Amino acid sequence: MNEIKGTSLIGYQRGALGGTAFRAFDPSRGESIAPDFHSASLAELDRAARIAESAFHTTSRFSGKTKAVFLRKIAANLEWLADGFVSRIAQEAALPEARIRAELGRTCFQHRMFADLVEEGSWVAARLDRGDPQRQPQPKPALRSMLRPLGPVAVFCAGNFPLAYSVAGGDTASAFAAGCPVIVNAHYAHPGAAELAGNAIIEAARSCGMPEGTFSLLFSAGQEIGQALVQHPSIKAVGFTGSRRGGTALMRLAGARPEPIPFYAEMSSVNPIFFLPGALRERGDAIAAGLHSSVTQGVGQFCTNPGLLFAARNPETNALAEKLKGLMSQTPAAVMLTPGIHQAYQSATGARVNSEGVRTLAQVTPTGSGCQAGAALFATDAETFLKRRELAEEVFGPETLLITHNDRTQLLALAESLEGQLTATVHATESDLAEHADLLAILERKAGRIVFNGYPTGVEVGHAIVHGGPFPATSDGRTTSVGTRAVERFTRLVCWQNAPEAQLPEELQAANPLGIWRQLDGRLTRDPLS
């Protein structure tokens, strides 16, 4: 289970060695890492998709208890591989051990959280409406409905989370919880970690008696395999975490199929923070310290990194800028995840430096070579920001832009100008909030999660969390990729009308044998149908 061979996992079989070979890259040392990994062929992809479709006939009928055993076994296997993950990810992504172990803990927690969810069973949103054959002028039918799994799911891994948003991440866990087989398109930046996680899932599938095709892992050196996977007729939904460019391209492919399928992408967010006057007066230094940590932790490589800061043009904002400038200037340069991410960051910050109307308040110059990046703080005014739409684009790294406004009219115009976001944050006193209800109403339309007097980095995994937002933060702002509601993405509603009891799933049977919460004639209850 802890051996890395460099070939795809096609169900319970290994892929061939003949595909295009590539290697992982150590961004700290600037050198490739053995072994070679071999891209899957289109024939191997087709086999993975077809056995997934066959497996779905079985997995879609699994009980919650059966799925829970599988999910918990995956978590146990991942924990057994902990030292292997630390060693490999430290090479492939230059992440510290503490970060890797924390991400592994989050990954295992997600699987056990979904295991608890499906074992309890109420997540299927069962509804029962009693029939009335005597009703006039027409009899009322008996209706019963619930969520059912969609079919095989394709998952695209994130480059910045080798575990929690990767092979065994939330997309995969939630798809398994729904009863869907999964085919993962591994990220080229951390293929070794991907294979270790894939091995853990395959071993869990074998030991739990899952049908072959419940899981496959495909390596790819280019875009061909990913594009073909989205277009394969056996695939019924896609989970994606990555760039806006890549996400929108695959989203178009998913929508252009003869049978369009749902495409759930997390893509681009600048996570604006709004500083209202009272908060800066009361705790400006503390805000600057927390903001600095949020912008620079993990070398700014989080999807919730705060990239835009909005504040009134006044002495309190000047003090915030000076404090933040000092903190950013003292931040040591650090290694980014991949050469591609590093190059994009250098290009984006270079454009900021040369942008008319933008001032450079702080920019750390790396002293080392390779993929090192320095923190950067820029500033502009509302007039410039509203005219220069490129200033609202995401800069992936330890950078942020402070925008100052003259009055409430400009503040609201700035908020209205924003695209869809994963998060929007407000630092305010109670009186600030009471006076800015109009700003909060705008932010509710713009973001999936509104943070009060905190910072957006750090996404709590739970039942109420929303990690999503209007386009382009995600492709479908009605969903979340984190938390138990993520399972709903890979389901559809099915209704049974006047069905005999023997033909109904246990969740909809009159006796309620699973004891789950159901909506009976519009009222939540665990009672059986009398």
Tens digit of pLDDT for each residue in 166-209? Answer: 999 999 999 999 999 999 999 999 999 999 999 999 999 999 99
**pLDDT, tens digit, 9 for 90 and up, residues 7-31:** 999 999 999 988 889 999 999 999 9
Catalytic residue among 108, 303, 394, 507: 303
Residue with tokens 């109403």: 441
Our answer to whether residue 393 is catalytic in this structure is no
Residue with tokens 């869990």: 204
Is 507 inside a domain boundary? no
CATH number for position 121? 3.40.605.10
Which residues have C-beta within 8 Å of that of residue 223, sequence separation ≥ 6?
A: none
d(CA 416, CA 51): 48
- Tell me, yes or no, whether 190 and 306 share the same domain: no
- Tell me, yes or no, whether 186 and 294 share the same domain: no
Is 512 inside a domain boundary? no
Our answer to whether residue 203 is catalytic in this structure is no
d(CA 240, CA 229): 12
Is 457 inside a domain boundary? no
Q: How many domains is the chain built from?
A: 2
- Tell me, yes or no, whether 260 and 278 share the same domain: no
The pLDDT value given to residue 17: 87
Catalytic residue among 266, 316, 394, 507: 266
For the beta carbon of residue 73, count every other beta carbon within 10 angstroms. Answer: 21
- Tell me, yes or no, whether 280 and 257 share the same domain: no
Domain, as residue range, for 68: 9-129+141-267+480-488
Closest CA to 507 of 498, 517, 494: 517
Whole-structure pTM value = 0.96
Helix (H) or strand (E) holding 346: helix 339-353
Is 226 inside a domain boundary? yes
- Tell me, yes or no, whether 105 and 179 share the same domain: yes
Structure-block tokens of residue 376:
């950067």
- Tell me, yes or no, whether 365 and 216 share the same domain: no
Is 464 inside a domain boundary? no
- Tell me, yes or no, whether 258 and 281 share the same domain: no
CATH number for position 306? 3.40.309.10
Closest CA to 265 of 177, 393, 156, 187: 156
The pLDDT value given to residue 231: 98
d(CA 121, CA 521): 19
Q: Which segments in the chain show pLDDT lower than 50?
A: none
Residue 113 backbone class (left: φ over 0; alpha: ψ -120 to 50; beta: rest): alpha
Buried residues in 428-461 as b, exposed as e (16+ CB within 10 A): bbeebbeebeebbebbeebbbbbbeeebbbebeb
Own/partner long-range contacts of 253-261 (Cβ < 8 Å, ≥24 apart): 253/227, 254/230, 257/230, 257/231, 257/233, 258/233, 259/233, 261/235, 261/236, 261/237
The pLDDT value given to residue 368: 78
- Tell me, yes or no, whether 252 and 306 share the same domain: no
Which residues have C-beta within 8 Å of that of residue 297, sequence separation ≥ 6?
A: 457
Contact 55, 257 (CB under 8 A): no
d(CA 271, CA 259): 34
Is 468 inside a domain boundary? no
- Tell me, yes or no, whether 233 and 295 share the same domain: no
Closest CA to 466 of 454, 448, 441: 448
Is 201 inside a domain boundary? yes
- Tell me, yes or no, whether 259 and 312 share the same domain: no
- Tell me, yes or no, whether 306 and 418 share the same domain: yes
Is 390 inside a domain boundary? yes
- Tell me, yes or no, whether 238 and 123 share the same domain: yes
For the beta carbon of residue 80, count every other beta carbon within 10 angstroms. Answer: 13
